[in-house]
Amino acid sequence: MQEKMHSTTILAVRHNGTAAIGGDGQVTLGAVVMKGDAHKIRRLYGNKVVVGFAGATADAFALLERFEAKLKDFQGSVPRASTELAKDWRMDRNLRRLEAMMIAMDKDSLLLLSGTGDVVQPSDGVAAIGSGGPYALAAARALVTHSSLSAKEIVQAALHIAGDLCIYTNRNIEVEEV
């Protein structure tokens, strides 16, 4: 029986004119922490686009490479690159087997891409993926509603909360502002 890999928590927030995306550093295999300092946030397209990814490592990197190629094809347009990648993801038999998700953002867009071909723009400016995603999402939504923190501060605080609640999330957090 193959162990299920739990690998991350990624959170992105747009709030009060600021935007940030962050992730934890933990990678686990079953009940074992394999790595505590993984980097799951990447800057692309001349540092204008920031992505965070969750899922099987090789699949996440394959997705990231394809997304980067789409960004080049569509002059850095996150919505267009995301839509075209999602189309490929649904149509290509090999891509459909990828077990990964991604959040992509730039100064204008925040999109969540799933393996089912979904491209979702959250209406509240908050998106989360990965094992601790639901915890981080709930914390971020509360902080957006009941605080005057910046997006970066919300991402940091919400990821720390997720790290306290989710055994697959640690407090080794990296955050990038857009």
| DSSP secondary structure letters along 75-106 | TT-HHHHHHHHHHHHHH-HHHHT--EEEEEE-
pTM for the whole structure:
0.93
Active site residue 57: no
pLDDT at 14 over 80: yes
Task: Indicate which residue of 8, 9, 28, 169 is catalytic.
Answer: 8
155: tokens are: 């991402």
pLDDT at 171 over 60: yes
Q: What angle do CA 172, 130, 14 make, to 5 degrees?
A: 80
Q: Is the dihedral of CA 79, 85, 89, 92 positive or negative?
A: positive
* CATH level 2 (architecture), domain 5-172: 4-Layer Sandwich (3.60)
* pLDDT digits 0-9 by tens, 100-152: 899 999 999 999 998 777 899 999 999 999 999 999 999 999 999 999 999 99
Kindly report the backbone phi and psi dihedral angles of residue 93, in degrees, each rounded to the nearest multiple of 5, phi listed first: -60, -40
Domain boundaries, the chain: 5-172
* pLDDT digits 0-9 by tens, 51-90: 999 988 878 888 899 999 999 999 999 999 999 998 887 7
